[in-house]
A and B are shown apart, each in its own frame.
Chain A
Amino acid sequence: MQRMQLSYKYINLIITIVLFFALFAVGSVLYNGFFSTQVLLNMLIDNAFLIITAIGMTFVLIIGGIDISVGSVIALVCMLSAYLLEMQHLSAMIVIPGMLLMGFLFGVAQGSFIHFFNIQPFIVTLAGMFLARGLCYVISIDTIMITDPFYQFIATYRIPLPFDNFISISVVIAFALVLAALYLINYTKFGRAIYAIGGNAQSAMLMGLPVGRTKVLVYGLNGFCSALAGIVFSFYMLSGYGLHAMGLEMDAIASAVIGGTPLTGGVGFVTGTLFGVLIQGVIQTLIMFQGTLSSWWTKIAVAFLLCLFIVLQRIVVSRKERTKSIS
């Protein structure tokens, strides 16, 4: 009985991790060349930006909010950095910190609207989404290619690993963020306050936790993550364009949910989110290896998983409610 109970919170996480390895195994059996470290690493290289933004999203979801502006913020960061680098000839050393600061402040502004004016997060970040996407077009309607040598260097540099494997610098950044996020959420007062507020904001207030400050900072942190994802994305694309990262917010939310973070707040796993992204990666790779299926199968598969996990979470919650009312 104890064991059964132990698993329910982690059930999504466990299913996700098992599913990831199962899918990888299926690919390895079916396709030649699938089973290699580099295939796995390529998933990371191609999805580094998604990992980064999905982690920011995880924080927001744990605190019981949502942020649908992240895709647009990524596009804005790409566009603005391209503009500043190419048109204004600013140094990357100025542009990168500037972008990170901008993302943070953008998030803080959204968080402030949500907390102080008590407006639904969905609506506030909807406005933020329009704003960021619109500002891209104010800068330019066309694609701006990035030719800055520093960006070029980072984009093309491959960090060699043993056995002829390699990763990109973006992967290193993503993993650094994963570690930082794990530390933040498990070993700091701020991190635990996020869980407490997401679990029960009223109680958290009565327990004397700084609810407002934490909430605003979480949105700020998410803004920072999207800006970082934007920079990584601009390494990946080497261009700024208004249509970049279209709909990425939904991928980020889906990754978090599949990784065991429900949209009801109070629960969430950074590791889970990482695997949520990787599951999408492995599905993409499978479809690529299969060759005849087109890429939209990824979306359907992801949505199917999403649906499965949401219903699963709902069942867990209602079972909890029922046992509570009986006891």
Chain B
Amino acid sequence: MDEANSLLKAKGICKAFPGVKALINVDFELRPGEIHCLMGENGAGKSTLIKVFTGVEILDAGEVFLGGNPIAPRSPHHAQQLGISTVYQEVNLCSNLSVAENIFIGREPLRFGRIDWKEMKYKSQELLAKMDLDIDVNQPLERYSVAIQQMVAIARALDISAKVLILDEPTSSLDAKEVEKLFGLMRKLRAEGLGIIFITHFIEQVYAVSDRITILRNGELVGSYETAQLPRVQLIAKMIGKAFDEFESSDKSVKGDALQESRNAFLRVRGLGHKGSIHPFDLYVNKGEILGLVGLLGSGRTEVARTIFGIDKADSGEIQVDGRTVKINNPADAIRYGLAYCSENRKTEGIIENLSVRENIIVALQAKLGWMKYITKKKQEEISKKYIELLNIKTAGPEQIIKNLSGGNQQKVILARWLLTEPKLLILDEPTRGIDVGAKVEIQKLILSLAETGMAVVFISSELDESVRCSSRMAVLRDRVKIAEISGEEMEEKNIMQTIAGV
């Protein structure tokens, strides 16, 4: 590939955060007039790479070239001036201001030293007309749908004479029609010679719009490919980290007796849905069974769990626990019916960071008992010591503040918290993410042994091999829809990936 034909080029990018190597020697190249998808699962390093390009993070090592010249973006503002503009998933505009202002704020047209509102209106209308968008630019931005807000964000980015446009998951809250409109615009810009980096979790969209794909995994470059030459299954295999051929011979023993919906399924869900996050789905979980929820990030795995647990209140469908139809309006209800949920966001939704390990373990049981039925401190210590030992939690003691523990040990504390409530159904959302291998195996073993005792488990993981190893049955999700259930012989990685990819 000759230098002249590259617009944005990164060589040997390294970036480390305390305890994590986010990017390890990553190369990347964007050509003018192409739509380039950046793919990877959670923690692959996509967002860090973007942040390096936009000056939010300063790289540790490596070089970035724009049009052949070395650049070092210091801040988003600086990156914009250089010609790299970004549109984020959460629209980073001020929705309280008018559409026109959002395009021009910071560089408003002036006349006699004062803002020329007429000129601003005229210019922004012109700009939006180029994008086939005919809206009233004097209205506040919040009046319009997210799709239009995205378009406005792009309009702003373009007006800063951008050479590179980075679209960070712009489609995650758009419907099909809006996505098509956005794609139309992207193609138009591509024709004008702009380089577009597009990040998305929707496989369909990758193939609909992109020219090339770069895949990252665990901070490392997997490779760059022409979209047309990379089959879907291959793409997923590369993202998940398995060479596709490896699967051919993997044989699989059937676990559990959960092939058929047994009569006494612990949890049975019919038509449960939440507008905007998950389409209505049916689901059942038997006692002693581990149900794996698989699908890519953003496929609706987490949303299924949140809806069952009453965090997102379902707006359709019904839930049966132990054969009884119940109403779950909030987590407290769910816990009362014997459900437990380990969130994927350990930091923001799991640990209570300034409390001790002991308190973090005891809190859910105490909440279930109510404030009056106090578990004495002595009892609390006993319990926490027991669980620290049982789960092999590495901590200086029960009084250690939880935020000082490593990720894996924090996860074990949260598991202990839920086990203590003696749940009949345990929902685990990425319980092994971001923790070291040893702890990972321990947690997987624990999950298996829990199921053996008769507990129903719903297991969500980005790592397919982990899901296959642990689950006795799987539900596959794609684009917020439950598309299939797999069990028995069919439950092998190749087949699952094909299901996810929709081949």
Contacts and interface: CB of A to CB of B under 8 A. Distances in A.
A, B assembled together: yes
Interface of A: 5, 9, 183, 186-189, 192-193, 195-196, 198-200, 202-209, 266-267, 320, 325-327
A208 B115 contact: no
A266 B142 CA distance: 12
Nearest to A189: B108
A195 B97 CA distance: 7
B193 interface: no
Contacts of B101: 192, 196
A327 B145 contact: yes
B357 interface: no
A325 B276 contact: yes
A203 B115 contact: no
Given A9-B140, A189-B106, A195 B275 contact: no
Contact of A193 (B77, B105, B142): B105
The 8 closest A-B pairs by CB, nearest first: A208-B77, A199-B96, A199-B94, A187-B114, A266-B96, A203-B92, A196-B94, A206-B76
B80 interface: yes
A186 B120 CA distance: 13
15 contacts: A9-B140, A186-B115, A187-B115, A195-B97, A198-B96, A199-B94, A200-B95, A200-B96, A202-B92, A203-B92, A206-B88, A206-B92, A325-B275, A327-B145, A327-B276
B394 interface: no
Given A192-B115, A196-B105, A207 B143 contact: no
Nearest to A209: B106
B146 interface: yes
Nearest to B86: A206
Point out which of B88, B140, B146 has the most chain A C-beta atoms below 10 A from its C-beta. Answer: B140
Interface in B376-425: none
B94 A200 contact: yes
Nearest to B156: A207
B93 interface: yes
Interface residues of B, number: 24
A327 B96 contact: no
A266 B94 contact: yes
Contact of A207 (B105, B275, B276): B105
A5 B92 contact: no
B276 A326 contact: yes
Contacts of B143: 5
Interface string B81-104: 000000010001111110001000
Contacts of A326: 275-276
A320 B142 contact: yes
B146 A327 contact: yes
Contacts of B96: 195, 198-200, 266-267
Nearest to A208: B77
A203 B94 contact: yes
Contacts of B97: 192, 195-196, 199
Point out which of B77, B96, B114 has the most chain A C-beta atoms below 10 A from its C-beta. Answer: B96
Contacts of A320: 142
Nearest to B142: A320
Point out which of B101, B143, B145 has the most chain A C-beta atoms below 10 A from its C-beta. Answer: B143
Contacts of A205: 76
Interface in B289-326: none
B395 to A, nearest CB: 31
Point out which of A203, A266, A320, A327 has the most chain B C-beta atoms below 10 A from its C-beta. Answer: A203
A160 B114 CA distance: 34
Interface string B134-151: 000000101101100000
Interface string B273-295: 00110000000000000000000
Contacts of A206: 76-77, 88, 92
Given A199-B97, A205-B76, A320-B142, A192 B92 contact: no
A5 B80 CA distance: 34
A202 B92 CA distance: 8
B21 to A, nearest CB: 26
Contacts of A266: 94, 96
Nearest to A186: B115
A209 B93 CA distance: 12
B275 A209 contact: no
B86 to A, nearest CB: 8
B201 to A, nearest CB: 20
A195 B106 CA distance: 12
A192 B145 contact: no
B150 to A, nearest CB: 13
Interface in B154-171: 156
A208 B76 contact: yes
B427 to A, nearest CB: 22
A192 B105 contact: yes
B94 to A, nearest CB: 4
Contacts of A192: 97, 101, 105, 108, 115
A207 B140 contact: no
